[in-house]
Structure formats: structure tokens, C-alpha cells
Amino acid sequence: MDGKFITFEGPDGAGKTSVMNQVIAVFDQELGDRLLVTREPGGNKISEEIRSVILDRNNTEMDYRTEALLYAAARRQHLVETILPALKDHKLVLCDRYVDSSVAYQGAGRQIGMSQVARMNEFATEKLLPFKTIYFDIPVEVGLERIAKHRDSRKIDRLDVETTAFHKRVHQGYMKIRDQNADRFISIDATQPIDAVVNDTITIIHQIAGEYFKED
């Protein structure tokens, strides 16, 4: 695989999407079509349709394993249709969430079991992991406060309205994944003002994907 695959992970409200939007604005000029910015669940028509089903707040009856399978199905389609072709095309791929989210949210948050969810996702991803994962480190309460504060301008989904206990289990799950993947994870202090988080993110991407920013 010739491109470089980098993921953004963290609890709800950590600021990943806001930071990514600002990072795109900077990198778009430098990289043009050598950059793909995408997200999970989503990133193409089928996966975005699956996203709507998963995140629809009216789908209160959804079983936890169904939820885990839907995330994995969206991921499979996203990988095959969107991520792999971009990597084949030597692109830098920045993806908002990937398999670590399933292991943290469904494995730990929903208490299905982290290893079970990881194994199920190996089927979906054929064990493809990111080159590096930028982890937006923030206490659960701060992330949830941000979401509550911006309730009017931000769509609240089925996962956002979960209990604090659920979000704390997700956070503990992430801490485990980070410890077990210390060579892949790079943490950013996401409690800083947004400009500082954006700067840290840009610095890290320059360090880990420096070849994309060299003059030809």
C-alpha cells in the first residue's frame, strides 16, 4: 500500500471534526488531490446511508450487536470503495474514526467485549490498521459539556444522548487501546483552545507524513 492512512480518535465532543475542518483548509492548498479526508461511519453513499440508520435517535430498539455489525458493515464498504483506492493512489488519507471507535464504543461502552469486537472487525478490515492514530485526549465531562453547550448548532445523535456511565466506559476502553498500541497512538491535549489543538495536529501530521509536504 503506497499511501498513508492516519485516523483521528477520541470521545464525543473532543473536537475532532472541528479540528479536521481547519486542517483541511490548510492542507487542501498544499496537497490538492493527494489528500483524502473522510469519516466513519460514512465516507460514501452506502456507508452514509448506514450511518443515518445507526445514528437515528428514533431507532431506540436497536440491539447492541446489530449496532456493532452495522458499524462494521459501513466500515467494510468504506474501506473497499473509498480508503483502499485512495491508498493505492498514494494519497494521504485522514479519517475521522475507524476500528478503534468500535472497540471502544461497542466493545467497552456497550460491554460486548473489546476482543470480540476487535475480532469481528478483523473480518471487515482484513486486519488493515492505520499507520498512526491521533488521539484527542479529553475528560468525558468536558466533551459532553461541549456537546451540551452547542446543542442548538449541532445535530444530537443516538450515541450523544447515552449515559455518562456509557461514555466513561468508552473512555476507559480508549485508554486500554492506547496502552496496547503505544507505537501507533499519538495523543493531543484536546482541552486546549481550538487554535492550539489545530497547531498540534498540523505539527504531528507534518512529522508522521513529512514526505507529502516536501517540495518536488
Ligand X SMILES: Cc1cn([C@H]2C[C@H](O)[C@@H](COP(=O)(O)O)O2)c(=O)[nH]c1=O
Q: Is the dihedral of CA 79, 37, 10, 201 positive or negative?
A: positive
| Interface with ligand X (CB under 6 A), residue from 4, 5, 9, 12 | 12
Stretch that binds ligand ATP, among 44-52, 64-72, 114-122, 146-154 (CB under 6 A): 146-154
CA distances from 116 to 16, 71, 122, 147, 209 (A): 26, 14, 10, 30, 32
39 binds, among ligand X, ligand ATP, none (CB under 5 to 8 A by kind): ligand X
- Asked if residue 13 belongs to a known ligand binding site, the reply is yes
Residue of 64, 65, 14, 20 whose CA lies nearest to 42 = 20
Total of residues contacting ligand ATP (CB under 6 A): 15
Interacting residue with ligand X among 9, 40, 137, 200 (CB under 6 A): 40
Flag whether 164 is marked binding: no
C-beta of 192: minimal distance to ligand ATP in Å?
A: 6
* Residue in 13, 107, 109, 173 binding ligand ATP, rule: CB under 6 A: 13
d(CA 212, CA 205): 10
Please identify, using beta-carbon distances, which residue of 34 and 84 lies nearer to ligand X.
84
Q: Rule CB under 6 A: which residues touch ligand ATP?
A: 10, 12-18, 146-147, 150, 154, 193-194, 197
Q: Which residues are annotated as a binding site for ATP?
A: 10-17
